């Protein structure tokens, strides 16, 4: 099976490429260049790929050429501007990437007969957030108070509309929460910021220490994406799907910081409150993944503490000189045995 991943140079994209190639599949990718220090470069993921294509998904001709060149069986659309705070600084770029980029891919996918399954990745932030204490379900209304959330909700609605209007290969939408794991170097993400701070003996600043997020290891998230693509290949699974952790992983930011600090042997003043004014972010956000659990037989394998431990230990071993690709491969193998 030949898979095309858009956004393959990103955090989740690199992990997905390694997982699929380790399973014996051919993998190609279309993305911008990786950010400095990215897992994609540290693990030399490019050496695994059939086609390593670079381009901007906002350009339709680029996307069409990529699909024409690769002729994949399955497409995972991960390419996006993924940061809430960045979306305040560049709302137009965020919307163009996340909405127009998705439309370009839907157009190109519909023109590529080889494609048998298409999984569009959005986010838990597509839901209209009313700070409810229970998880959002696939039937709940979509919304978005910040430009990032709004852009992903638009991409989600666009995909649903496109499938109903124009058909095409079997298509599904996957919505996941706050994903953590080894190799994430993206700015404004909690675990990379904590690990960087504690490993250098600094005290991290937290923007919203009481904000609750559904923390999930990257391999649990990607297991959902792969499970969903397999369902599509079997003629099932179209529609919208949540892939989120159990309620024991709905943990405040400050508690996450305390756990990571403990893993670094730090016990006094493990964080301070950021003093500058911060743009709006959701205070409480969680997913109800019972649809995927019941219909796809998918479930999280790692609980909250295990997900954090796998993430921290990956970075600790990397700092001690271990190989990034070997570390990722070992975790993929261990996860598969669970």
Print the domain residue range for 33: 2-336
Q: Do 259 and 188 touch, CB atoms closer than 8 A?
A: no
Distance, in Å, from the CA atom of 216 to the CA atom of 292, rounded to the nearest integer, reads 15
> What are the pLDDT digits (tens) for 97-140?
999 999 999 999 999 999 999 999 999 999 998 888 888 999 99
**pLDDT tens digits for 7-25?**
999 999 999 999 999 999 9
Q: How far is it, in rounded angstroms, from Cα 195 to Cα 198? A: 5
Domain containing residue 277: CATH number: 3.40.50.720
Q: How far apart are CA 234 and CA 306, in angstroms?
A: 32
Rama region for 237: left / alpha / beta (φ>0; ψ in -120 to 50; rest): left
In the block, residue with structure tokens 């809430």: 84
- DSSP β-bridge partners for residue 250: 214
- Distance CA(114)–CA(73), nearest Å, equals 6
CA separation, residue 221 to residues 64, 89, 203 (Å): 28, 28, 29
Q: Look at residues 214, 67, 72, 51 and name the one whose alpha carbon lies nearest to residue 129.
A: 214
Q: Per residue in 144-185, pLDDT tens?
A: 999 999 999 999 999 999 999 999 999 999 999 889 999 998
Angle between helices 218-233 and 324-336 (to 10 degrees): 60
Residue-wise DSSP of 79-145: -S---HHHHHH-HHHHHIIIIIHHHHHHHHHHT-TT--EEEEE--GGGB-----SSPBPTTSPB--S
Q: How far is CA 98 from CA 80, 147, 301, in A?
A: 5, 10, 30
Give dist(CA 330, CA 178) in Å, integer: 23
42-62: pLDDT as tens digits: 999 999 999 999 999 999 999
pLDDT digits (tens, 9 = 90+) for 182-213: 999 887 788 989 999 898 889 988 988 888 88
Which backbone phi and psi does 275 adopt, to 5 degrees?
A: -90, -25
Neighbour tally for 32: CB within 10 Å: 14
User: Looking at the DSSP assignment, which residues form a beta bridge with residue 75?
Assistant: 4, 118
Confidence of residue 250 (pLDDT cuts 50, 70, 90): confident
Mean pLDDT of the chain: 94
Find out whether 173 and 225 touch, Cβ atoms under 8 Å.
no
Percent of the chain with pLDDT over 90: 79
b/e burial code for range 68-107 (CB count within 10 A of at least 16 → b): eebebbbbbbbbbbbbbebbeeebeebbbbbbbbbbbbbb
Q: How far apart are CA 143 and CA 265, in angstroms?
A: 41
Alpha helices in 264-337 (DSSP H): 290-295, 304-319, 324-336
Number of domains in the chain: 1
Q: What is the pLDDT of residues 258-296, one digit of tens each?
A: 999 999 988 777 888 877 666 656 567 789 999 999 999
One DSSP character per residue, 175-236 reads EE-EEE-TT---TT-HHHHHHHHHHTTPPPEES-TT-EEEEEEHHHHHHHHHHHHHHHHTT-
The pTM of the full predicted model, rounded to 2 decimals, is 0.95
Task: Centre a 10 Å sphere on the Cβ of residue 8 and count the other Cβ atoms it contains.
Answer: 29
């Amino acid at each position: 099976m030949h898979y095309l991943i858009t956004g393959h140079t990103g955090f989740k994209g690199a992990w997905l490429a390694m997982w699929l190639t380790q399973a014996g599949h051919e993998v190609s990718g279309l993305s911008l260049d990786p950010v400095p220090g990215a897992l994609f470069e540290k693990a030399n993921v490019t050496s695994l790929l059939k086609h390593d294509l670079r381009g901007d998904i906002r350009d339709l001709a680029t996307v069409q050429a990529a699909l024409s060149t690769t002729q994949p069986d399955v497409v995972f659309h991960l390419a996006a501007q993924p940061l809430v705070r960045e979306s305040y600084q560049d709302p137009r770029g965020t919307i163009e990437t996340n909405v127009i980029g998705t439309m370009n891919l839907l157009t190109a996918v519909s023109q590529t007969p080889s494609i048998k399954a298409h999984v569009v990745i959005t986010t838990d932030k597509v839901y209209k957030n009313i700070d409810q204490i229970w998880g959002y379900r696939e039937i709940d209304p979509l919304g978005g108070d910040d430009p990032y959330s709004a852009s992903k909700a638009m991409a989600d609605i666009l995909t649903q509309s496109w499938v109903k209007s124009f058909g095409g290969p079997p298509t599904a939408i996957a919505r996941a929460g706050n994903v953590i794991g080894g190799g994430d170097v993206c700015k404004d993400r909690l675990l990379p910021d904590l690990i960087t701070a504690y490993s250098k003996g600094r005290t991290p600043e937290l923007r919203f220490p009481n904000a609750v997020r559904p923390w999930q290891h990257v391999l649990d998230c990607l297991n959902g994406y792969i499970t969903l693509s397999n369902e599509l290949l079997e003629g099932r699974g179209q529609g919208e799907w949540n892939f989120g952790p159990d309620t024991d992983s709905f943990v405040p930011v400050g508690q996450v910081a305390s756990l990571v600090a403990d893993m670094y042997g730090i016990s006094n003043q493990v964080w301070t409150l950021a003093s500058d004014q911060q743009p709006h972010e959701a205070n409480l956000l969680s997913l109800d993944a019972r649809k995927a659990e019941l219909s796809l037989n998918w479930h999280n394998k790692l609980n909250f503490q295990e997900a954090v431990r796998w993430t921290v230990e990956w970075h600790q071993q990397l700092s001690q000189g271990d190989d990034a690709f070997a570390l990722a491969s070992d975790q993929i193998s261990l996860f598969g045995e669970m």
